A and B are shown apart, each in its own frame.
Chain A
């Protein structure tokens, strides 16, 4: 594999920095070990190479990245980048993360301990480009050289000299979306340096200063969400209509009266699902409806923009958008007069509203918020719903969404549920706060421009897929139905892509889904299984 130097980032103009060779990636267990059986990477066409900025690794995540027409335009972007750097280091513009940023910039000992913690680096077969330290060290040297007094001279003298040019900037942009922000590297760092945070700051610089951010996160993400109500484009009336439809469908298929309440003023609980769950994994919101009703809770959904889409992609790339979405969610809860907000099964959503945005929600907007796993645990053990765990007599393993587990410390509630309701529950190795990210973290799971999906399923999701398979090593084949419990929409989207790419359903009879579905499946009154391994 090609060895990379830090200074390489600035060299070579529009040429690609590295090539990804599928044979160098970490091997998967059989029957997934033959790379040639899978489609591999979609190569960019001549036309795409002409039109798009593709100077990193042959993968493009953002087709709309501008391509300057002349040197003057290149210079303009470079200047903007420097002004963005300055703002990142200023209290007014970046008080939100200034202290952690400065600490992470100034105190890295370059021991490389964090590298072996990174699932992307490991999955890639230890490709230098994906080291957790590669991107931050370049960023650090640019700050030292271009922002600190005497930096240019010092850079020359100490051999830390990286040129800031068009190539550097665009490669850094693309590289900032080769990280899951999972912070496994941070956990491994003895200094407490946070390479995940640096990556996020870099994304912020690009978004907040240059207006560069992946279409799925920004234009079709937070912008669309704030505008029509959901990043899926789901409008309030369509959301209600869809759930009505689902209520009817499931009332019919389960024989239980399924009815989802909307906009009930004075309810105790405002439940905010992801709109993506409503559309793509409707069993999840329906499971919540069944459970909340069975437990006799006073609860409601909201159809106010964006109260039926709990995602907050700001947490991945932009503090202003983060604040906007979180504030709207809180305002809706306040208007309804609920006692608490519960977010649906989605890690980043829980983290965004519960912890990251906590210090942006001032005064009466700081409404109590509960994480979804604790909420479900309380419901399961409340005694109000009867269960028959033998209904879940298939092997189950648990994926720990990084945002919920490593980043929020919500570890045991979901395990207590599984130990009670799933007799064949088994842990992955490693698990809990040391889990591997699904590979879709940091917003990557919703990004699919150009050939980005190929990278997600081959590189980012590789370590996770491997450990999922290993957790079921006792039943590798398709004879036994197996369930991967992934209580997070973003993780589910990533698993959907990965399972489809590798044919995990056909080869291993392996399906994935949330926690709510497993709980409902074990309910004593259910006449038919709620979960199904068969396609409809």
Chain B
């Protein structure tokens, strides 16, 4: 298993850098991920999306459908790409510390 240093701590990640120990996530982890994608400040909008993703995942064991994310946050897809350079699945989920969505999604 790969290791990665985020905000001064070592974490287990998959080969695409997604956290494997979801419960060890902290807000600093999100900031550290964002910094790696050259987003140096997390705005209220970022947090809204990240927190929603995270809480939905913890409750349902899966990331929400993009449509739901759009509906709940009120951000359209291009806004989401503005916020998260690699898009909701590749960036936002990663920053939220949930595993990479797999299985025909």
Interface residues in chain A, defined as those with a beta carbon under 8 Å from any beta carbon in chain B: 47-48, 51-52, 60, 63, 215-216, 220-221, 224-225, 228, 230-235, 238, 242, 245-246, 249, 274-280, 282, 311, 445-446, 448-450, 489-490, 493, 535-536
CA distance A234 to B15 in the complex (A): 23
**Known A51-B2, A249-B67; contact A490-B61, beta-carbon cutoff 8 A:** no
Instruction: Tell whether, in the assembled complex, residue B76 and residue A231 are in contact, meaning their CB atoms are under 8 Å apart.
Output: no
Q: How many residues of B contact A (CB 8 A)?
A: 22
Cα–Cα distance between A161 and B61 once the two chains are bound (Å): 50
CB distance from B90 to the nearest CB of A (A): 10
Contact partner of B61 (CB less than 8 A), chosen from A233, A446, A493, is A233
B62 lies within 8 A of A233 (CB): yes
User: A242 contacts which chain B residues (CB < 8 A)?
Assistant: 65, 68
The one of A215, A228, A245, A279 in contact with B105, judged by C-beta atoms closer than 8 angstroms, is A279
Asked whether B45 is an interface residue with its Cβ less than 8 Å from the other chain, the reply is no
Given contacts A224-B103, A535-B76, contact A450 B15 (CB under 8 A): yes
- Roughly how many angstroms separate A228 CA and B105 CA in the complex, as a whole number? 16
Most chain A C-beta atoms within 10 Å of own C-beta, residue among B62, B76, B102: B102
Q: Would A232 and B62 be within 8 Å (CB), given that A280-B104, A449-B15, A490-B104 are in contact?
A: yes
Contacts of B102 in A (CB 8 A): 215-216, 220, 231-232, 446, 448
Alpha-carbon separation in the docked complex, A532 to B89 (Å): 21
Give the CA-CA distance A490 to B101 in the complex, in Å: 15
Complex partner residue of B77 from A47, A221, A246, A535, CB under 8 angstroms: A535
Pick the residue among B61, B67, B78 that contacts A246 (CB under 8 A). Answer: B67
- Other A-B contacts than A234-B62, A448-B16, 11 sampled, CB-CB below 8 A, are A230-B103, A232-B101, A233-B61, A235-B62, A280-B65, A280-B66, A282-B65, A282-B67, A446-B103, A450-B16, A536-B77
Give, as a whole number of angstroms, the nearest-CB distance from A445 to chain B: 8
Cα A105 to Cα B103 in complex, Å, equals: 33
Find chain A residues with CB under 8 A from B16 CB: 448-450
Q: Is A221 touching B61 in the complex (CB atoms < 8 A)?
A: no
Query: Across chains A and B, which 8 residue pairs bring their CB atoms closest together, nearest first?
Result: A276-B104, A231-B103, A233-B62, A232-B103, A450-B15, A535-B77, A220-B102, A63-B15
- Rounded to whole angstroms, the CA-CA distance of A246 and B71 in the bound complex is 11
Which one of A230, A235, A279, A448 lies within 8 Å of B65 (CB-CB)? A279
Q: Is A489 a contact partner of B67 (Cβ separation < 8 A)? A: no
Q: B60 near A: Cβ within 8 Å?
A: yes
Question: Once bound together, how far apart are the Cα atoms of A47 and B10, in whole Å?
Answer: 15
Closest A residue to B87 by CB, please name it.
Answer: A500
B102 to chain A, nearest CB (A): 5
- Taking CB atoms, residues of chain B closer than 8 Å to A231 are 102-104
Residue pairs across A and B with Cβ atoms less than 8 A apart, 9 shown, are A231-B102, A231-B103, A233-B103, A246-B65, A280-B65, A280-B66, A446-B103, A448-B100, A449-B16
Q: Are B105 and A216 in contact (CB under 8 A)?
A: no
Name the residue of chain B whose CB is nearest to the CB of A219. B102
Complex Cα–Cα for A493 and B104 (A) = 7
Q: Which B residues are in CB contact (< 8 Å) with A215?
A: 102
The reply to whether A235 and B60 form a contact with Cβ atoms under 8 Å apart is yes
With both chains docked as a complex, state the minimum distance between the C-beta of B62 and any C-beta of chain A, in angstroms.
4
Q: How far is the CA of A234 from the CA of B102 in the complex (A)?
A: 11
Q: Which residues of chain B come closer than 8 Å to A449, judged between CB atoms?
A: 14-16
Tell me, in angstroms, the Cα distance from A234 to B71 when the chains sit together: 20
B70 within 8 A of A: yes
Contacts of A221 in B (CB 8 A): 103
Nearest CB to that of A63 among chain B residues? B15
Measured in the bound complex, the distance between the Cα atoms of B98 and A284 in whole Å is 27
Q: Which residues of B contact A47 (CB under 8 A)?
A: 2
Contacts of B66 in A (CB 8 A): 280
Chain A's closest residue to B100 (CB) is A448
B76 touches A235 (CB 8 A): no
Complex interface bits, B54-66 against A, C-beta within 8 A gives 1, otherwise 0: 0000001110011
Instruction: Give the distance to chain B from A465, nearest Cβ to Cβ, in Å.
Output: 20
B104 / chain A contacts, CB cutoff of 8 Å: 231-232, 274-277, 280, 311, 445-446, 489-490, 493
CA distance A224 to B61 in the complex (A): 12
Hey, which chain B residues are within 8 Å of A535, CB to CB? 76-78
Q: Which residues of B contact A276 (CB under 8 A)?
A: 103-105
Residues of A within 8 A of B78 (CB): 535
- Min C-beta distance of B100 to chain A, whole Å: 8
Residues of B within 8 A of A245 (CB): 65, 67-68, 71
